[in-house]
Structure 1
């Protein structure tokens, strides 16, 4: 009974259930990325935005309820990266964005994850930089715009908004921020490692 209670608290708590639920939102987003159907494009973007909002909610709930667990720390970033990577690859395959943009963004993620793993193995924690957070914001908005794809007249605007073009601009900015934040993170890692070795 105690083992079940420990398992339920570690894995089956509400924040983790929300995180796991986000994984089930990936198939609808990919399925509705139909460039020939404007309605499905909007639906795909809305589901992607829902996943992004749930990402904020599950983290807030975990901290507020004192339910930050090892499982949650593993699954939460995994769900983020699975969603973003899957959508970026599908967007490139659908011709909505250049493949090199996807390559740069995913390579950056692998590189940062590698540094974080090294830092963790040395007992170091390096906080996310402002550049990294800005990169994520531009990336999420850019993906949402690319998923919408079509031109629409929005309230308060006289001209039609080209969501595809705006999405590409946002993702291009996120690529620049990705590279800059990766360089920044590398310097922070080097400084933290030097301090760590001095402390030893």
Structure 2
């Protein structure tokens, strides 16, 4: 197993570890969850860089690397649902969109097809990441007594339910719309892919 693949496995392993620490009642564990998430996110960047630079590209990695990213992101979103910061229906829409598109793209790659992507989809991913870091940092700050006592009014304002709901709604709309745009952009290729699948069956 190549180093990038090992990093992908590490990211998958760190995902439930993050959730365990994040949902803890222990402030120190909650603080540690942010570090775990940052390490997991860095493995995504580093394994991609290694794969491109040293051509460590394997079929296993092409399948699991994008799935590991979606698993990590989805679990973080679910964590915020559990602590009642995000509405479940929005998170479910995001998870459904991201996994549907990712699995479709992975399947297409396995059949020798390459789907066209857009900067819109990349911006969508970046917005999700920024928002998750925003929530994580503020949630950790709220659960760190020294910080919360000093900046309580600012933290409470930035974690205001109406503000969080509005931003999450925008991200959900962008995520779903980018998925529809992606499917429309590749509709001919998708049709060809499934026609070939029907013949194989």
TM-score (norm: length of structure 1): 0.75
Paired residues in the alignment total 182
Q: What's the C-alpha RMSD, in Å, of the aligned pairs?
A: 3.0
Instruction: Give 1:164 shift.
Output: 3.3
Matched, 1:160 2:154: yes
Secondary structure of 2:22's aligned partner: coil
Matched, 1:74 2:63: yes
Relative to structure 1, the CA distance from residue 164 to residue 34 in structure 2 (aligned partners, 3 Å threshold; closer, same or farther) is farther
Matched, 1:63 2:68: no
Give ranges in structure 1 of 5+ residues lacking alignment.
1-11
Give ranges in structure 2 of 5+ residues lacking alignment.
196-201
Relative to structure 1, the CA distance from residue 30 to residue 182 in structure 2 (aligned partners, 3 Å threshold; closer, same or farther) is same
Deviations 1:176-199 (CA, angstroms, capped at 9, x unpaired): 2212211211121124458999xx
Cα distance in 2 for partners of 1:57, 1:121 equals: 23
Deviations 1:110-146 (CA, angstroms, capped at 9, x unpaired): 3313542564476421133212111111212222232
Structure 1 runs of 4+ off > 6 angstroms?
Answer: 194-197
Cα distance in 1 for partners of 2:117, 2:75 equals: 23
What is the 5 A alignment of 1:11-26?
12-26=1-15
Q: Give the aligned partner of residue 172 of structure 2.
A: 175
The answer to whether the Cα contact below 8 Å between 2:63 and 2:106 also exists between their aligned partners in 1 is no
The answer to whether the Cα contact below 8 Å between 2:85 and 2:164 also exists between their aligned partners in 1 is no
Relative to structure 1, the CA distance from residue 69 to residue 111 in structure 2 (aligned partners, 3 Å threshold; closer, same or farther) is same
Relative to structure 1, the CA distance from residue 29 to residue 117 in structure 2 (aligned partners, 3 Å threshold; closer, same or farther) is closer
Q: Give the aligned partner of residue 185 of structure 2.
A: 188
